[in-house]
Amino acid sequence: MRPVVALVGGFLGAGKTTLILKAARLLQARGVKAAAVLNDQGDDLVDTELARRSGTPADQVSGGCFCCRFPDLVEALERLSAHEPEIIFAEAVGSCTDLVATTLRPLLRDYGSRYRVAPLTVLVHEEPDGPDLRFLFEHQLAEADLVVQRGVDVAGWVDALLSGDSPAATKTITVDYARYAEAEAALGWLNARATVRPEPPASPAMIVGPLVDAMDAALTAAGIGIVHLKAMAQCESGYVKAALTANGRDPAVEGGLDASPAAEHDLLVNLRAMGDPAKLREIAGRALADVGAERVSITAFRPAAPVPWHSAKP
C-alpha cells in the first residue's frame, strides 16, 4: 500500500510538532507505523531531536522550506520508506505558505503512484502581531484544506487523513512573492548547538530553565519580540524541552523533569524573533556562556527570498 504523505502547516509556535508526535504515538498504539519529516531554514533542529527521542523515525529538510527544497523532501520521504510507514507527516516551516502550488500539486502530479497525498492541514493557535507576520498567517489559512485548532481531537484528525475521503490541494491562492520575501525577512532566525558540563552535575531542567529565562529577559530588554524560542538539553538520564511563543510567558515544558543530574548535556536552541540576527547571536552567545556552554556553534540569519523549485503558478 502506498504510504500517505500528510503535510502539516501553521504559523511558528502553533504546536505542529506536538500534534504530529501525539498522532504518531496514537498510531503506534494501533499498530500503525508513522514517520515524520521536519523542515527548517537552518540546521540543528530541536524538533528533529524531539521526534527521534519519541521513537518516531524522523528525517529533516534544512536550508529552506519544502517549496524551495522539493527534491530534498522527496529524498527524505524515500529514506523514511525504509521504515515502511503507513503515514509520513511532513511539517512545513512555520513562516512558509503557497504549499499547495509548490509542494502538494507536484507530489500529486509526479509521485501519485508512489504516495497518497492527504489534505493540507494548517494548525492554528493564535494570530500573530504585526503586518508581516499576519501576511504569512493569513495566506497559510487561505490555502488550507483542513484548518484545525490546537487541542484538536487527534484521533479524529488522523482518521480523516487516512480515510482518503477528502481531496488534497483544493485551494488556489495568489501570493505576491516580493511581499512574501519581505514578510519572511522581518524575522531573525537563530539555531545553536553546544555542550554543557555543569559542576556539580545538573539535571536537564536546571540547564534549560535558566537559559530560557535569561534569553527571554535579554530579548525583552533589547525590545526584540520572541516569535518562537525552543531549547532542549539532552543527557544520558533524559531530556527537557522548553518553548516560548512570546516574551514574558511561562514556557511550555516537556520531557523528564525528574531526570537525574548528569555531567554532560547536548544543548540545542532555536530562536525566531523580530530582531537583527547579529543581536540575536550576541544575546544567545551571552546566555550560553552564562550556563557554561562549550563547543558553541551558532548560525543567525534572515530567511532568503523564497524561490520555489516548481512554479508557484497554479
pLDDT of residue 42: 78
pLDDT of residue 52: 87
pLDDT of residue 313: 44
295: pLDDT strictly greater than 70: yes
8 Å CB contact between 235 and 262: yes
pLDDT, tens digit, for every residue of 54-73? 899 999 999 999 999 999 99
For 96, phi then psi, to 5°, come to: -95, 145
pLDDT, tens digit, for every residue of 90-110? 999 999 999 999 999 999 999
pTM of this structure: 0.94
pLDDT of residue 44: 79
pLDDT of residue 45: 87
pLDDT, tens digit, for every residue of 120-172? 999 999 999 999 999 999 999 999 999 999 999 999 999 999 999 999 999 99
Containing 91, the helix (H) or strand (E) segment is: strand 87-91
CA angle, 201 then 203 then 208, to 5°: 115
For the record, the C-alpha cell of 83 comes out as 521504515
* 53 pLDDT tier (thresholds 50, 70, 90): confident
pLDDT of residue 123: 98
* 43 pLDDT tier (thresholds 50, 70, 90): confident
Q: Give the SS3 label for residue 204.
A: helix
The secondary structure of residue 127, as a DSSP letter, is: P
pLDDT of residue 178: 97
pLDDT of residue 314: 40
Percent of the chain with pLDDT over 90: 93
8 Å CB contact between 89 and 106: no
8 Å CB contact between 306 and 181: yes
pLDDT of residue 128: 96
- In whole angstroms, how far apart are CA 121 and each of 49, 175, 238, 273? 23, 19, 31, 24
> Minimum mean pLDDT among 38-47, 177-186, 296-305: which range?
38-47
2: pLDDT strictly greater than 70: yes
pLDDT, tens digit, for every residue of 232-267? 999 999 999 999 999 999 999 999 999 999 999 999
- Average model confidence (pLDDT) for the chain? 95
39: pLDDT strictly greater than 60: yes
> Minimum mean pLDDT among 29-43, 175-189, 286-300: which range?
29-43
